[in-house]
């Protein structure tokens, strides 16, 4: 076998065909690498690899057309039939030689992710998994080409038939979709020949064990069929030949069953074993919190996907498969909107986007709109949206908890005093925590509703009436909970702040100015406070920061035995609270200022006669805004969610899964580097390979 391998490799390296194949493969990968990654700044090398996949179905038939057809035409195949080594060894030796021709141009490609890494952040694991997918896909194409080459002695026919076969495997997914969007027995049979969808698994950031097994098993099967095709030519028409033919047919049937069985077994493995998530943000994985929640499920939940299984979003589909594999109580059902256009109307009267999820239990249902599973960012210069995050797990885990919960805690937002309005991103956090909200004006109520788990008093610009204050205080005295945002305003709010005074909190209208540059960003009024340890801040590590612009000074009574103060955020000792911020001439202490340090956020628990109530207060209304949260990569929203989870009672422990980053940063390549790398990868390396082949061919022709 080694002698055959060496002979075949030598033959390919002594002809233009071998060098042309390597040059073409390297050229197209390099071309897409330069166009996508270097020129456009795409940080995903898999995009270049995926675009270069099509060239294999053109180049491989040209490489494999002569491997056995030429032997048959020149009658040198008789040497194979009479060789002292087995036909299997001969075929495998030829296959290894062809694999070497594919390996050689792949070797310099392995350096491309390293080149990209010099210009920005990239996912190396994703890049090399994509290269692996390209390689095993190419080997499988070679296996098909070898088999077809064994069927004819005409190289052109072998090349054309190989191209047709590989092209069909490339478009098989589309053919199956045309036959049936929901799938049937025909599409399942045809789907066995779908090469490109398996190749695409490697491009999406997963090391797919099932696809890897598929390519290896199909390649081995093609080589086995090649051996049987050659073996048939050794037989003559006789009763003995008939017996051998029956034996060979039996082997083909057995090998076919074996390949099918191996792939079915791989497909039945748990989802975590079938594929490894190699994305940096673990886009396709589910967190330990979700897994623990799924293990504790006792009631059945059905997740309806408003799409056919073949056309469903691959990221969502992968996620749902992991939910199913972690709990027998989760069932995923795909509903094709074309076949069931009115299905969603049974659960909601709203228009539902295709690809959305409907989570259903015996208690209730919840719709997760497809677009809510993705976070987008609008580029105002082009008015185009870019997907920046994937929130599928957070939305689905929250929905499962929601549909199984016996009691939904309700938060009332007090209105009527020019309060701030929570932005959509923060109201969505409340919904994800399976809490309901309702905005009310206390003027229309005799008291705070009895079903209130908490009330939110969000930075009013006009003062509360005596009646409103009395209603809030009565609610709190009975064991209620309040979430309060203070604000800087030129209007006095004595009634409003009297609510906080019941909990030993004094609010001054002095704006805090930080003089320690480690505790502010850009402006001394843009505070970056220290995060004190508590249950609510335990998952905010030292590498994360909270951002709080324009905070006022709070003072807490920590000597009252009825009060327990849990601090969240504090300033440095150099902070001062400006008494007249508009006329202040310096950031340092002046007459009329208050010297720090200050507590900027805390929870005060009050116990009187066995009744416990709570008030949470933060010193700025701007802390829980999208702009402040974005500045610190979502730390403010983590604090917001944790505080609500801590003060609101629920029969189900709320799990809030943050959205996962969807995109890496773009890479930036200087013009000089771009030109130099382009010349090397697109021109010099491929042209050098092709030139080497031409020179070797000419020298051999002259001998």
Across the chain, which has 703 residues, the per-10-residue mean pLDDT values are 84 87 94 92 90 93 85 63 72 92 95 91 90 96 93 89 93 84 77 88 88 94 89 55 55 81 79 79 84 90 90 87 90 89 86 91 88 73 70 88 82 91 85 83 90 91 92 92 89 90 89 88 89 86 86 87 90 86 77 85 90 92 89 86 82 66 75 91 91 83 68
| Among 631, 513, 671, residue whose Cα is nearest residue 581 | 513
Contact 196, 169 (CB under 8 A): yes
Q: What pLDDT is attached to residue 238?
A: 44
Alpha helices in 433-480 (DSSP H): 466-477
Which residue ranges make up each domain of the chain? 2-278+671-702, 288-377, 407-650
Distance CA 357, CA 395 (A): 10
Q: What pLDDT is attached to residue 68?
A: 82
Q: Are strands 611-618 and 599-608 parallel, antiparallel or unpaired?
A: antiparallel
Torsion of CA 30, 33, 36, 41, to 10 degrees: -140
The model's pTM is 0.68
| Among 46, 61, 72, 216, residue whose Cα is nearest residue 134 | 46
Cα four-point dihedral sign 334, 337, 343, 344? positive
Distance CA 324, CA 494 (A): 55
| Among 111, 135, 137, 138, residue whose Cα is nearest residue 30 | 111
CATH class, domain 407-650, is alpha beta
Contact 135, 211 (CB under 8 A): no
CATH level 3 topology of 288-377: Glutaredoxin (3.40.30)
Q: What pLDDT is attached to residue 236?
A: 47
Q: What share of the chain is helix, strand, coil (3-state, %, to 5)?
A: 50, 15, 35
Q: What pLDDT is attached to residue 81?
A: 58
Which DSSP string do the residues of 250-297 spell out, in sequence order? Answer: HHHHHHHHHHHHHHHHHHTS-HHHHEEE-STT-TT---HHHHHHHHT-
């Amino acid at each position: 076998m080694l002698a055959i391998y060496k002979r075949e490799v030598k033959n390919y390296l002594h002809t233009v065909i071998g060098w042309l194949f390597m040059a073409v493969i390297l050229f197209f990968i390099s071309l897409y690498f330069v166009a996508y990654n270097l020129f456009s700044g795409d940080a995903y090398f898999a995009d270049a690899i995926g675009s270069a996949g099509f060239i294999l179905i053109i180049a491989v038939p040209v490489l494999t057309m002569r491997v056995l057809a030429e032997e048959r035409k020149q009658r040198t195949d008789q040497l194979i039939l009479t060789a002292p080594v087995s036909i299997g060894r001969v075929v495998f030796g030829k296959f290894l030689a062809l694999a070497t021709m594919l390996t050689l141009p792949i070797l310099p490609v392995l350096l491309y992710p390293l080149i990209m890494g010099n210009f920005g952040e990239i996912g190396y694991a994703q890049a090399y998994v994509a290269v692996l997918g390209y390689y095993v896909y190419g080997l499988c194409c070679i296996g098909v080409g070898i088999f077809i080459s064994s069927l004819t002695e005409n190289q052109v026919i072998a090349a054309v038939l190989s191209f047709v076969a590989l092209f069909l495997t490339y478009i098989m997914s589309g053919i199956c979709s045309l036959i049936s969007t929901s799938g049937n027995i025909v599409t399942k049979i045809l789907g066995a020949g779908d090469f490109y969808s398996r190749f695409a698994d490697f491009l999406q950031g997963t090391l797919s064990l099932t696809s890897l097994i598929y390519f290896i098993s199909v390649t081995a099967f093609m080589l086995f069929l090649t051996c049987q095709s050659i073996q048939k030519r050794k037989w003559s028409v006789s009763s003995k030949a008939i017996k051998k033919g029956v034996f060979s047919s039996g082997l083909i049937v057995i090998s076919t069953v074996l390949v099918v069985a191996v792939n079915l077994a791989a497909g039945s493995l748990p989802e975590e074993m079938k594929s490894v998530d190699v994305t940096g943000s673990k886009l396709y994985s589910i967190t330990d919190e979700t897994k623990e929640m799924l293990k504790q499920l006792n009631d059945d939940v059905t997740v309806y996907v408003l799409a056919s299984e073949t056309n469903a979003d691959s990221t969502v589909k992968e996620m749902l498969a992991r939910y199913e594999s972690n709990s027998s109580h989760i069932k995923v059902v795909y509903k094709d909107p074309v076949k069931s256009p009115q299905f969603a109307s049974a659960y909601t009267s709203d228009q539902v986007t295709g690809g959305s999820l409907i989570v259903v239990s015996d208690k209730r249902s919840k719709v997760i709109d497809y677009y809510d599973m993705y976070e987008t960012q609008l580029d105002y210069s082009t008015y185009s949206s870019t997907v920046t995050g994937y929130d599928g797990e957070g939305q689905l885990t929250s929905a499962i908890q929601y549909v199984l919960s016996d009691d939904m805690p309700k938060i009332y937002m007090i209105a009527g005093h020019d309060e701030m309005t929570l932005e959509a991103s923060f109201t969505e956090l409340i919904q994800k925590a399976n809490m309901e909200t309702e905005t009310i004006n206390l003027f229309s109520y005799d008291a705070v509703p009895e079903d209130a788990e908490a009330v939110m008093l969000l930075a009013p610009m006009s003062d509360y009436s005596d009646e409103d204050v009395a209603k809030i205080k009565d609610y709190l005295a009975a064991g209620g909970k309040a979430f309060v945002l203070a604000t800087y305003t030129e209007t006095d709010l004595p009634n409003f702040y009297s609510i906080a005074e019941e909990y030993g909190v004094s609010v001054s209208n002095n704006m805090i100015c930080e003089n320690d540059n480690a505790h502010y960003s850009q402006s001394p009024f843009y505070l970056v406070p220290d995060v004190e340890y508590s249950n609510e801040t335990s998952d905010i590590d030292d590498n994360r920061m909270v951002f709080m612009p324009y905070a006022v000074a709070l003072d807490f009574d920590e000597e009252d035995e009825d009060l327990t103060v849990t601090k969240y955020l504090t300033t440095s000792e150099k902070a001062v609270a400006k008494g007249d911020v508009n006329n202040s001439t310096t950031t340092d202490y002046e007459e009329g200022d208050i010297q720090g340090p200050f507590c900027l956020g805390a929870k005060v628990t009050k116990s009187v006669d066995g009744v416990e109530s709570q008030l949470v207060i933060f010193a700025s209304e701007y802390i829980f805004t999208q702009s402040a949260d974005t500045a610190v990569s979502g730390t403010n929203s983590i604090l917001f969610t944790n505080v609500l989870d801590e003060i609101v009672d629920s029969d189900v422990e709320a799990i809030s899964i943050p959205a996962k980053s969807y995109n890496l940063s773009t890479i930036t390549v200087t013009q000089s580097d771009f030109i130099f790398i382009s010349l090397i990868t697109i021109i010099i390396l491929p042209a050098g390979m092709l030139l080497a082949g031409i020179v070797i061919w000419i020298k051999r022709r002259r001998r």
